[in-house]
Amino acid sequence: MKEESYSFDWSDIGDINLGRPNLGEETKVSVYRMMQYSMRGVLAKEFGSERASKLIYDSGYIAGLNFCKTQLDTKLELNQFLAQLQKRVKEYKIGIVRVEKIELESLEMTLTVEEDLDCSGLNVTNERVCDYDEGFIAGILEFYTNLKFSVKEVDCWSSGGRVCRFKINVEE
């Protein structure tokens, strides 16, 4: 069992090649979603759906910090950094990140994620479910800029958007 003070670190993922010489790195999206939505269900039941969303956001945020720390070059300038982010996110098959808008001075951005790992293909329920993505993006941008970001999903596959659109602002 992990200690109560445990916080995720990239090294906790372990040596997958060593551990899975035959099956390798890849798994099915359904396996990922099975874990995420079963966990979401348990959390919602335990803490209510709002609190569950917040916990999932926080998980995504910690993952984003670690992803940026270990997988991205933070010395690049913003545009190059975003290009690198697009490339890495696609390589990890998380989704296809696209930039709709960036205000360089205010760091106000609109990003979209197509073929999102969390929600693409879900039934349309008029809900936005990409809490993990919100936290993930916020964590990445915070590690890169050392600023706190507010990331809000304004459109989602679940709300009939076919893309997930995120509005991003620096927190006051």
Partner 1 sequence: MREKELIAYLNSEIINVLQFKHFTPLTKEEATYIDEVEGAELRELLKSVQNTLLYLSEAKEFVLSLSNGNLEVEPPIFNPLISPLKQLHSNLRHLVWQIGQVAKGDYSQNLDFLGEFSLHFNRLVQSLKEREEIEQELKRSEGMYKLLAENISDVIWIYNLDRDCFTYVSPSVVFLTGFTDIEAMGQTFKESVSADSYEQIGEWSIEAIDTLSKFPNQKIVYTNQVQQLCKDGRYIWIEAVVEFRLTEVGEVEILGVSRNIEKRKEIENKLKKQTLELTKLNENKNRFLQILAHDLRNPFTVLLGFSELLLSNFREFNPEEIEEQLTILNQTAKGTYTLLNDLLLWSRSQSGNLPFDPQKRDVIALCKDVVADKSNKFSHKEISILCEKNGLEELILPVDTNMIKTILRNLLSNAIKFSHRGDEVLLTVERGEKFITVTIKDNGVGISPQNQKLLWDYSKPLITKGTEGEEGSGLGLLLCKEFVEAHGGKIWVESEPNRGAAFKFTLPLNREQIVDK
Cβ neighbors of 47 (< 8 A, separation 6 or more) are 55
Q: Is 108 in the site for partner 1 (CB under 8 A)?
A: no
Residue in the structure block whose two tokens are 């916990």: 55
Q: Is 39 in the site for partner 1 (CB under 8 A)?
A: no
Residues 110-149: x/- map of binding to partner 1 (CB under 8 A)? x-x-x---------x-x-----------------------
Taking the C-alpha atoms of residue 93 and residue 61, their distance in angstroms, rounded to an integer, is 18
Taking the C-alpha atoms of residue 9 and residue 132, their distance in angstroms, rounded to an integer, is 17
Residue in the structure block whose two tokens are 């808008």: 101
Q: Which two tokens stand for residue 87?
A: 């490339």
Least Å from the CB of residue 99 to partner 1: 5
Q: Is 62 in the site for partner 1 (CB under 8 A)?
A: no
Taking the C-alpha atoms of residue 10 and residue 170, their distance in angstroms, rounded to an integer, is 26
Residues 72-101 that bind partner 1 (CB under 8 A): 79-80, 83, 96, 98-101
Least Å from the CB of residue 84 to partner 1: 9
Task: List residues binding partner 1 (CB under 8 A).
Answer: 79-80, 83, 96, 98-102, 110, 112, 114, 124, 126, 154-155, 159-163, 165
